Structure 1
């Protein structure tokens, strides 16, 4: 890990820089959106404030790490968060608390295959072990096989990784934040269906929640970036 000297440095952390770090892709959009900010980008900050949750009234960004990897069982590759953020929230009603945030950037990319398609055919034992772990971590084992098969694997990944990060940094709060740069909000329906499983209604440009998972207050957010 090294201090960033500009948005182009973010590309050095990608496995396939030439393919992934170019105009029209989320990695570059996130780098140029977040690098030049003194804190949260305005659209992201507004989404937190619009949630009207006291935790975010006076929140502060402490640390930003792009392409942050979280090890998960059942495979050689880690869950790679586009951005990991450690923030601090405080309000008149609540004591100062840490907030772990996993940012998933999107331009024209979708959330990948569903769990059902990932497990279809000859799925490896490693993949099955990982999915079992992911489902156990967010406490989704109560869902039927039909419900689970339609979940987007990438969103499940992001929940598990941010819960683990919250525990690692002793943060009682966690946020899965989708930062979209697509004018048509591509992927929003998948996001909407996913959060509905937690009894939440998806709202664009708003942080929703929390739901308590493994003693962590988990929030979700969809923000359309400029």
Structure 2
């Protein structure tokens, strides 16, 4: 996977402040009202899975492990997909790998078209790999947000690595006006899905694994 070395040693946190050192740009990202701090406060406050994510799976989700700012290597470059939170959980008799993308006001970043502009062979290989993994045509529509593609791919790759039964990519949004939800809705169109906030959508991957995609609305308390 590109020869990347990603640490496999993780330390438990003692509170939200421990998430700070994991950020790419702490001075910019670690502020009240921003997604990084909101996610850290929400996950540290929860006794297990944050309730808005648990509700997507109709309750009863047992959190086994959560890793902040978890990096997942992808082919076609040196830059990993960095999940705001990666979680392993149990739902009934099944295990699930969950990649979480936290959001408040920050957008999802460049579109596929912008990201592929004057693309290197590596970028082309990466988008082809992601689309094949997800069972989509490559390249995908240019107006869709690239971040949602690589974050979903990260969930599937980690599900394969940990041999879980299922995979999920969840947007944990603390914006009460559902800002950027239209980008998430557009992303789900190629899957044949029409999302609603707080309701999980399911899709069967080419591998036969069930993929859950959802928009969870976090409490404004953490803003």
TM norm structure 2: 0.89
Structure 2: give runs of 5+ residues left out of the alignment: 1-9
Match of 1:156 in 2: 149
Preserved CA contact (<8 Å) 1:64 1:83: yes
The separation in 1 between residues aligned to 2:182 and 2:90, in whole angstroms, is 30
Preserved CA contact (<8 Å) 1:79 1:161: yes
Aligned: 1:132 with 2:113: no
Preserved CA contact (<8 Å) 1:205 1:224: yes
Aligned: 1:194 with 2:196: no
The separation in 2 between residues aligned to 1:42 and 1:119, in whole angstroms, is 37
1:67-146 alignment runs, 5 A limit: 67-90=69-92, 96-120=93-117, 122-141=118-137
Of 188, 205, 208, which aligns to 1:212? 205
For residue 47 of structure 1, report the CA deviation from its aligned partner. 2.8
TM norm structure 1: 0.88
Of 20, 23, 26, which aligns to 2:32? 23
The separation in 1 between residues aligned to 2:61 and 2:33, in whole angstroms, is 31
Moved more, 125-134 or 29-38: 125-134
The separation in 2 between residues aligned to 1:78 and 1:156, in whole angstroms, is 13
Of 6, 29, 33, which aligns to 2:15? 6
For residue 116 of structure 1, report the CA deviation from its aligned partner. 1.1
The separation in 2 between residues aligned to 1:65 and 1:14, in whole angstroms, is 13
Specify the SS of the correspondent of 2:160. Answer: helix
Number of residues of Structure 1 aligned to a counterpart in Structure 2: 210
Q: Superposition RMSD on alpha carbons, in Å? A: 1.5
The separation in 2 between residues aligned to 1:36 and 1:224, in whole angstroms, is 16
Match of 2:56 in 1: 47
The separation in 1 between residues aligned to 2:71 and 2:34, in whole angstroms, is 20
The separation in 1 between residues aligned to 2:13 and 2:198, in whole angstroms, is 28
Match of 1:65 in 2: 67
The separation in 2 between residues aligned to 1:43 and 1:159, in whole angstroms, is 19
For residue 206 of structure 1, report the CA deviation from its aligned partner. 1.4
Structure 1: give runs of 5+ residues left out of the alignment: 50-56, 91-95
Describe the superposition over 1:158-184 as per-residue Cα deviations: whole angstroms up to 9, x where unpaired: 111111000011112111100001122
CA change 1:18–1:161 in 2 (3 A) is: same
For residue 136 of structure 1, report the CA deviation from its aligned partner. 1.9
Preserved CA contact (<8 Å) 1:211 1:218: yes
